[in-house]
Structure 1
Amino acid sequence: MHIQSVTTRDRRFTLADGAGSDAIHRTPQYSYAVCVLKTDAATEGIGLAFTLGAGNDLVCRAIDYLSEPLVGREIEELMADFGTTYRALADSPSLRWLGPHKGVVHLALAALVNACFDLWAKSRQLPLWKLLLDLSPEALVNTLDLSYLEDVLTRRQAIDLLTKSQATRSCRENVLKTGYKGYDTSVGWFNFSDERIVANTKTAMDRGFTALKLKVGSTDPQRDLRRAELIRETAGDAATIMLDANQRWNVPQALTICRELSRINPFWIEEPTHPDDVLGHRAIADAMAPYKVATGEHIPNKVIFKNFLQAGAMAFCQVDAVRVGGISEFLTVSLLAKQLNIPVVPHVGDMGQIHQHLVLFNHIGMEHENLFLEHIPHLRPYFTHPADLVRGYYQVPQEPGSSSDLID
């Protein structure tokens, strides 16, 4: 199956009634820069990068530039040594200057890489999670670029980690029967009223969710405290509550406010300050202990993830396959996190479509802890095979590919 051409689609979706809002992004427009690999068969590879609307067209244009070397490539031949191709694309001399490995060009790389993995899985008539589990450790590592990580994770170490995990896979395959637990972010968007978050919490729990997330970061900290206490009171002591500031605070503010928020016993505080501030996150993590910091939604590449992990600045790694350089870099960061004993709980900018596959592989294939995966339902009607949750659990996808096909 040969790639004959690459096209893009700029898809934007306006959300209603405060959905998707947080302390920084008050009026989001959920958008995908879509990469389409057209082949000499009827099959197409679909890859997504996530944006909030403005600039989505720039990501599509960057996909056009990056994709030129892939035209004419046969998918099995391409994926047999995809790590080499990935590095060549990421380090394209003139385009690399625009990052390196971040921003518009790296988002374009995410869409292109995700399309390659989607096409590969479809060509083998397998869902992505099954394709990844069927690969040998060597073949899986061949799809990755481990450059700049050698001080922490070598190729040999990555292969050994995956090989060791193979021996105990049967202990973790029960997740294919139970499904993967979800947590509900949509109960507590920033623009929702107090009354609405209470009603949403009750509805979510009636639907089987036991883990919920609330957006914080108000200019008035008392609003955050009031709403946090409301959701705790409504959900009860047994519920798992996460708080997400979406980068709103500087470090001194975060240190003060997080101490107050700790009284509702949060499972984590997410993105409490600027996403590039490694030492700031570590200071907050140290001050909050035993409460924990989650971050990674806006960390753009494996090297910065390495720094966060080495510094002890994150207790939960929220790498996102539509923000970093696609599935390849997601798996690289997952291996890195496993090497440093930090759980991966992805940010879900793509409504769980791709990540439902990746968390299954992470748990079964890498021994990552089976925790939960964020659920955001707002774009569900636009997918050909939307993520399916039953009683709060993601059902295991069975269709070939990465569940990224959008309805035209």
Structure 2
Amino acid sequence: MIAKVNISDRRFALAKGAGSDAVHRDPVYSYAVTQLTDEHHTTSSGLAFTVGAGNELVCGAAKFYADTLVGRNVDELMADFGSWFKNAANEQQFRWLGPHKGIVHLGLASVTNACFDLWAKQKQVPLWKLLIDLSPEEIVNTLDLSYLEDVLTREEAIDILQQQQATKNERTKILTEGYPGYDTSVGWFNYNNEQVRENCKKAIDAGFNAMKLKVGATDAARDIERANIVREVAGGDRKVMLDANQQWTLPQAIAICQQLQQMNPYWIEEPTHPDDILAHQTLAKQIAPLKLALGEHVPNRILFKNYLQTGCASFMQVDAVRVGGVSEFITVSLLCKKFGVPVVPHVGDMGQLHQHLVLFNHIAMGHEALFLEHIPHLKPYFKQPVKIENGVYVTPLEAGSSCDLVPA
């Protein structure tokens, strides 16, 4: 039974230049943290990510949702979590503040993630194991599939998971091999060219075979110069991704992406406004075969459905601390599986939670194990920080979702 809830506002200053991109020049990495404590004093942690200002508002929304869970039996809650999630997301007054986006949805993500963490801790297993051991029906019971019926029914979702059961064990080798990572920290926007060059060398020495550069400068020549530096250091065989963090208008994106094609980027990430689905569709056609990666700021499953319907995204970057938590993350992964689009999450959680979710995606859903973003800046603040060896995530074995923070 959930006996107590606690919501905390945790903010972490970053080293100079770290975390910066074309839009968020001076971020303060922050979490709205939900803690749920059961009658045996087991305490869970659920995160929603922000970059500072307004984090207290997300905490207020999380408390609104968390208070409704006091007295609930965890097994009973999680056996039909999709119904609780749907009712919470559609609470008749609070829903007006979204719906299914912004502060209220981030608050719901924090609480949802705490529920899944508590469930795994009570079972005394890592979250990835809890999820892959559930039957297809049990997984789908944790999901809200409303507004998706035109493309994904409950029966289809169960069937997608059921189809993977026969080959599931073949994919468990990823648990010993580890899940590949890619380095996002080589090229934060405020880093100068020499820092970018040195960081690329360090990433290669650390075993990474893929890395990402922030672009979106006022002068496109800066982007082109820096992209060529990364390609020069990385060589032709390693993957290099470019991330504009929504900075460009559509005409700008078309022009600049065409100039960037010559250095062979693996993808262009968030080229323009995340709500402008048709602009992304136009851009994808204009710059093909260059591929787009989208999803960091896509807030819910319905918008992901629309992006998938247009066919403009080659990679989906759904983030469980941005959408409505683990439940909606799995829903989006199922949508992506149906549409044949790989899931490569954005890691607002610094990879703590997502290292579990990508293992589930690969083993239980049959998604390709491409790689998972790695951002190291908050490692000292987690009780069980992610482990990277030779560019690969080491499988976490502790119970829960790895999201407990050290005390403030």
TM class by smaller structure: over 0.9
Partner of 2:319, secondary structure, is coil
1:346 maps to 2:345: yes
Q: Compute the displacement of 1:68 (Å).
A: 2.4
What is residue 385 of structure 2 aligned with on the other side? 386
Q: Compute the displacement of 1:170 (Å).
A: 2.1
- The runs of 5 or more residues in structure 1 that have no matched partner are none
Q: Compute the displacement of 1:5 (Å).
A: 1.9
Give me the whole-angstrom Cα distance separating, in 1, the residues matched to 2:269 and 2:63: 34
What is residue 82 of structure 1 aligned with on the other side? 81
CA offsets, 1:244-284, max 9 Å, x none?
Answer: 00000000000000000111100000000000010111111
What is residue 296 of structure 2 aligned with on the other side? 297
What is residue 195 of structure 1 aligned with on the other side? 194
CA offsets, 1:279-336, max 9 Å, x none?
Answer: 1111111112111000100000000000000011211000000000000000000001
Q: Compute the displacement of 1:171 (Å).
A: 2.1
Give me the whole-angstrom Cα distance separating, in 1, the residues matched to 2:239 and 2:37: 44
Q: Compute the displacement of 1:127 (Å).
A: 0.2
**What residue identity is the alignment partner of 1:357?**
H
CA offsets, 1:94-144, max 9 Å, x none?
Answer: 000100000100000000000000000000001000000010000010000
What is residue 29 of structure 2 aligned with on the other side? 30
CA offsets, 1:143-199, max 9 Å, x none?
Answer: 000000010000000001101101111221111111000000000000000000000
What is residue 132 of structure 1 aligned with on the other side? 131
1:53 maps to 2:42: no
CA offsets, 1:232-251, max 9 Å, x none?
Answer: 01111111000000000000
What is residue 238 of structure 2 aligned with on the other side? 239
Alignment of 1:3-402 (within 5 A): 3-402=2-401
Partner of 2:44, secondary structure, is strand
Give me the whole-angstrom Cα distance separating, in 2, the residues matched to 1:204 and 1:354: 22
TM-score (norm 2): 0.99
**What residue identity is the alignment partner of 1:28?**
P
Give me the whole-angstrom Cα distance separating, in 1, the residues matched to 2:105 and 2:218: 32
CA offsets, 1:186-243, max 9 Å, x none?
Answer: 0000000000000000011001001000000000000000000011011111110000
Give me the whole-angstrom Cα distance separating, in 2, the residues matched to 1:70 and 1:132: 21
**What residue identity is the alignment partner of 2:289?**
P
Give me the whole-angstrom Cα distance separating, in 1, the residues matched to 2:47 and 2:355: 15
**What residue identity is the alignment partner of 2:196?**
I
Give me the whole-angstrom Cα distance separating, in 2, the residues matched to 1:65 and 1:313: 36
Give me the whole-angstrom Cα distance separating, in 2, the residues matched to 1:281 and 1:266: 17
TM-score (norm 1): 0.99
Q: Compute the displacement of 1:388 (Å).
A: 0.3
**What residue identity is the alignment partner of 1:115?**
A
CA offsets, 1:15-34, max 9 Å, x none?
Answer: 01200000000000000000
Partner of 1:168, secondary structure, is helix
**What residue identity is the alignment partner of 2:378?**
L
Partner of 1:93, secondary structure, is coil
Bigger Cα displacement from structure 2, 101-110 vs 169-178: 169-178
Give me the whole-angstrom Cα distance separating, in 2, the residues matched to 1:288 and 1:399: 44
Q: CA RMSD in A?
A: 0.6
**What residue identity is the alignment partner of 2:359?**
L
Partner of 2:60, secondary structure, is helix
**What residue identity is the alignment partner of 1:41?**
H
**What residue identity is the alignment partner of 1:320?**
D
Q: Aligned pairs, how many?
A: 407
Give me the whole-angstrom Cα distance separating, in 1, the residues matched to 2:391 and 2:265: 20
**What residue identity is the alignment partner of 1:203?**
K
**What residue identity is the alignment partner of 1:366?**
M
Q: Compute the displacement of 1:39 (Å).
A: 1.4
Give me the whole-angstrom Cα distance separating, in 2, the residues matched to 1:30 and 1:281: 28
Give me the whole-angstrom Cα distance separating, in 2, the residues matched to 1:169 and 1:291: 32
Partner of 2:93, secondary structure, is helix
Bigger Cα displacement from structure 2, 283-292 vs 193-202: 283-292
Partner of 1:256, secondary structure, is helix
Partner of 1:33, secondary structure, is strand
Partner of 1:97, secondary structure, is helix
Give me the whole-angstrom Cα distance separating, in 1, the residues matched to 2:145 and 2:199: 43
**What residue identity is the alignment partner of 2:109?**
A
**What residue identity is the alignment partner of 2:180?**
K
Give me the whole-angstrom Cα distance separating, in 2, the residues matched to 1:66 and 1:404: 19
**What residue identity is the alignment partner of 1:274?**
H
- The runs of 5 or more residues in structure 2 that have no matched partner are none
